């Protein structure tokens, strides 16, 4: 199942999250190498991203997102995706 995920991160002023940021990057790279975090794009000018995840279920996605080190500081919007009949790969 494919999901479009927007993550907006808001760190409280004065909070040192250096270790969390490093752990977040390591986890993101691990999930990308595993083929779960399929795409990851920065939203220009924001501490935000658009991502595409390929997982087996809603529960799996929830588990992945809620385990991210920066999760306590995220606002997340999720949209399930389906193949569009006009996509080249669908032809």
**Looking at residue 91, what is its pLDDT?**
72
List, in sequence order, every residue forming a beta bridge with 6; answer none if it has no partner.
50, 77
Domain parsing of the chain, residue ranges: 2-85
Just give the CATH number of 2-85: 3.30.70.1060
Q: In 60-90, which positions are buried (b, 16+ CB within 10 angstroms) versus exposed (e)?
A: ebeebbeebbbeebbebeeeeeeeeeeeeee
Q: What is the pLDDT along the chain (91 residues), one digit of tens a residue?
A: 999 999 999 999 999 999 999 999 999 999 999 999 999 999 999 999 999 999 999 999 999 999 999 999 999 999 999 989 998 877 7
């Amino acid at each position: 199942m494919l999901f479009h995920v927007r993550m907006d991160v808001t760190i409280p002023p004065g909070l040192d999250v250096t270790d969390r940021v490093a752990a977040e990057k390591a986890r993101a790279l691990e999930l990308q190498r595993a083929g779960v975090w399929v795409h990851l794009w920065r939203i220009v000018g924001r501490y935000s991203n658009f991502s595409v995840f390929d997982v087996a279920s809603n529960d799996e996605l929830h588990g992945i997102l809620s385990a991210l080190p920066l999760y306590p500081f995220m606002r997340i919007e999720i949209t399930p995706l389906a193949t569009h009949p006009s996509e080249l790969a669908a032809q």
